[in-house]
Amino acid sequence: MLNLERLRTLDALARHGSVSGAAAGLHVTTSAVSQQLAKLEREVGQRLLARNGRGVRLTDAGRLLADHAARILSQVELAQSDIEAQRGEVVGEILVSAFPTAARGLFPAALRAMHADHPELRVRTRELEPEDGILGVLRGDIDLAVALDWSNKRLPVPGGLTRVELLDDLPDIAMPAGHRLAGRAEVDLEEFADDAWVSWPEGEFCHDWLVFTLRSKGFEPRIAHLVGEHHTQLALIAAGVGVCVAPRLGRGPVPDGVRLVPVRQRMRRHVYAVWRTDADRRPSVRATVAALREAAREAGEASA
């Protein structure tokens, strides 16, 4: 009889590609992963792993069993969803991720409502960039992720995941109060061709979007500062070192000396939730989505 937890460990190794990655995804130590896999090899009577430099790789038998493990775990997920759905109670635990401004703009209201309405549900949260959150859901490390893309640059959602829209966020351009365009009711992105920009770190989806968008306006952006946290970006704008895109969701207080001006060609961030389709019937997932949608409605009204 194959042990389900050992199959889960093998599946994590196949998805993450390393013992350390599997350990991080399962929230256990690397030695625990190695022990589980060694026991699984003894159970099946075949080598499942082979050395590959400093790491390991799956043997043919390991890959075969990992494929079966993925299907078995998917069926277990469906069974758990059906049992939870029949019981109809919002209980247990759910792990939810969100990118930083959504974590700040949506999580407080959503978690407050879920704690009041479903006290038996334990909610854990994690702050992750959109692509990392979607990958975590796909791997099974996260139950639900709040992600985003832009109206002119979409982020593909892999098959096997369900997506529901939460809100459209309308960012503004943040500039020093003394900027030549600070008194305008609206601005065009082309008017900032000579300005220094404060952007998200390289490699992040929003940084790639900003460079792509500004290049599409006919100029090469001069990215002077790379900052991940929006409040830090606005602090730099207040210091007069450049301009930046300032989303409204989770914005919070704006520092003195910063002027926010809407863009004439409306830029929209599409904010949405994704989860595994085979978990669609779980009451905990449905309750979390409902709470996030209500929090998004309130956030949208507040920023309108």
**Residue 104 pLDDT > 80:** yes
- Residue 210: partners with Cβ closer than 8 Å, 6 or more residues away: 197, 199, 200, 221, 245
The pLDDT value given to residue 83: 72
- Distance from C-alpha of 301 to C-alpha of 304, rounded to nearest angstrom: 5
129 falls in which pLDDT band (50, 70, 90)? Answer: very high
- The neighbouring-strand residues paired with 272 are 147, 165
Q: E strands within the chain?
A: 49-52, 55-58, 92-98, 121-127, 144-150, 161-169, 172-176, 196-199, 222-226, 244-246, 258-262, 269-276
* Residue 81 binned pLDDT confidence (cut-offs 50, 70, 90): low
pLDDT at 188 (0 to 100)? 95
* Residue 86 pLDDT: 62
Residue scoring higher pLDDT (279 or 222): 222
Instruction: Kindly state the average pLDDT of the residues 277-296.
Output: 92
| pLDDT tens-digit map of 200-246 | 999 999 999 999 999 999 999 999 999 999 999 999 999 999 999 99
| Residue, of 289 and 283, whose pLDDT is higher | 289
Quick check: 298 pLDDT over 80? Answer: yes
Angle between helices 4-16 and 130-139 (to 10 degrees): 140
User: According to the model, what pLDDT value does residue 282 have?
Assistant: 86
Determine the pLDDT at residue 232.
94
Decide if pLDDT at 74 tops 90.
no
Report pLDDT for 162: 94
- Rounded to whole angstroms, the Cα distance separating 76 from 14 reads 18
Q: What is the mean pLDDT of residues 276-288?
A: 88
Confidence band (pLDDT; 50, 70, 90) for 123?
Answer: very high
pLDDT at residue 71, as a whole number: 86
Q: Regarding predicted confidence, which is higher, 271 or 91?
A: 271
Residue 54: CB partners within 8 Å, gap ≥ 6? none
